[in-house]
Amino acid sequence: MFFSQYYLECLSQASYMIADESTGQAVVVDPRRDVSEYLNDAGARGFTVVGVINTHFHADFVAGHLEVASRTGAWIGYGHRAETEYAIRELAEGDTISLGDVTLKIMETPGHTPESISVLVYEHAEDAVPYGVLTGDALFIGDVGRPDLLASAGVTAAELGAMLHDSVQHKLMGLPDAVRVFPAHGAGSSCGKNLSTERQSTIGEQRATNYACAPMSEQDFVALVTAGQSAAPGYFAYDADLNRRERELFDPASAPRALGVADFLTRRAAGAVVVDARDPQEFAAGHVRGAVNVPADGRFAEQAGTVLPLGTELLVVAPDDREEEIVTRLARIGFDQVAGYLTAPDEALETMPEEVARAGRLTAARLRAELDGEQPPVVLDVRTCGERGENGFIEGALHIALGELPRRLDEIPRDKPLVLHCAGGHRSSIAASLLRHEGFEYVSDVLGGWAAWSLLNTPTAA
């Protein structure tokens, strides 16, 4: 058996390829949209990709099932409750997929979504104990999939929670301890709240250490797994719906278009949104007026999907030689409306000084002084509820997590100076740039964020 995990740090997303080396037949599970890595690996080993399985309708990225099928002729498999615009192979409880001696068996594990399945992997068809189980978003390492994303219309969080209780407590925990667990996401994903940095585990380890796998009633389980969940990024419902549809294929050979200053500014004036993927300090030193800063060195795709408008033409300002990477990462979440990128941004900015803005960034000490002054600014904390609860907060600060910010702009005063902070200064730059883009005039953020503030040992409420 050939078994490989492909892990994408930016989205904390895991996909898999399983093959029988004697027959050369392979299946890809939960692929991302840029599928060349899977197909190149298959080609190098002489495999034929005969099928592609999605464990559910993913909400945090656009899956690559259509791209794999287009390039290989593979069938597309989903749980039998899935409804799609394209032809699928419906997979139900107990169905088997033979790749040769290597065999896959379907286990229905609804709860994160109604159509969710897990895939049992048998190295040999007659093995009594599976080699492993691909759990999708039903069971993570250290957590379970959240049932409150409402990515599937017509099903409530309570109904999904009851399904998830049965899937985790009875079906998955009914497997032998030795079965390896291979989830679809790891730490950092918004699909759960307590995901581990480990990329595989065993049923036995999860039985012993995962809070949601301890025996408990359905009522207690639902209350436990729904408590303390952060706001889902705004693009999640869009991607979940897009994954059902017959959409445009991602073409890795279609290079992003280089734009000169005049064309770039014309498109911006016509309504295109500028996404600047440079470091916050570079952005602060000078950027195209109205640009939204989403740094490439971070959770770029998820954060871009949180703050950028859906369906709007985008213009990219990228770090050196990373334009193609930025466009690909946007495409992974279905943001395909990239008109092009600004050529040589440092030089370009020098040619249009009237269109360049700078961002205010305060030290924690400066913020302390301003709060003690006669006209203190409004402090806006964009961390999650969990971070605030665990680490403390600045007394009197307004709290709106970054994931909720685009839909809660009306709660923020426009007639007072604003100073934003997060944990370390990354998300606050994103949030502050979004507010400036939305017309807020007096916006700064804190260098070093809460980490820098807490070092001052000033009184805080906790």
Q: Are 295 and 429 in contact (CB under 8 A)?
A: yes
How far is 274 from 265, CA to CA, in rounded Å? 10
How far apart CA 353 and CA 13 sit, in angstroms, is 41
Integer CA distances (angstroms), 227 to 146, 161, 221, 385, 386, in order: 10, 12, 10, 11, 11
pLDDT of residue 16: 98
Spans of the chain below 70 pLDDT: 149-153, 187-196, 228-229, 457-462
Q: Where are the alpha helices (DSSP H) in 275-405?
A: 280-285, 300-307, 323-331, 345-350, 364-371, 385-391
The helix (H) or strand (E) run that includes residue 451 is helix 449-454
| pLDDT score of 90 | 98
3-state secondary structure of 237: helix
Provide the pLDDT for residue 188: 58
Tokens of 283: 């952005």
Domains of the chain: 2-242 (3.60.15.10), 258-340 (3.40.250.10), 360-454 (3.40.250.10)
pLDDT of residue 192: 53
pLDDT tens digits, residue range 168-218? Answer: 999 999 999 999 999 998 865 555 556 667 789 999 999 999 999 999 999
How many other CB atoms are found less than 10 A from the CB of residue 401? 21
CB 345 within 8 A of CB 283: no
* Cβ-proximal residues to 220 (8 Å cutoff; 6+ apart), any chain: none
**281 vs 279: CA distance, rounded Å:** 6
Helix extents (H) in 292-381: 300-307, 323-331, 345-350, 364-371
- Please enumerate in sequence order all residues whose Cβ is within 8 A of that of 348, keeping only pairs 6 or more positions apart, or say none: 261, 264, 342
Tell me the per-residue pLDDT of 4-31, one tens digit each, with 9 for 90 and over: 999 998 898 999 999 999 999 999 999 9
β-pair partners for 377 = none
What is the DSSP code (8-state) at residue 309? P
Q: In what order do the strands lie in the sheet with 25-29?
A: 2-8, 13-20, 25-29, 48-53, 75-79, 89-91
Where is 98: in which H helix or E strand? strand 96-98
Give the SS3 label for residue 223. helix
Question: What is the structure's pLDDT at 231?
Answer: 72
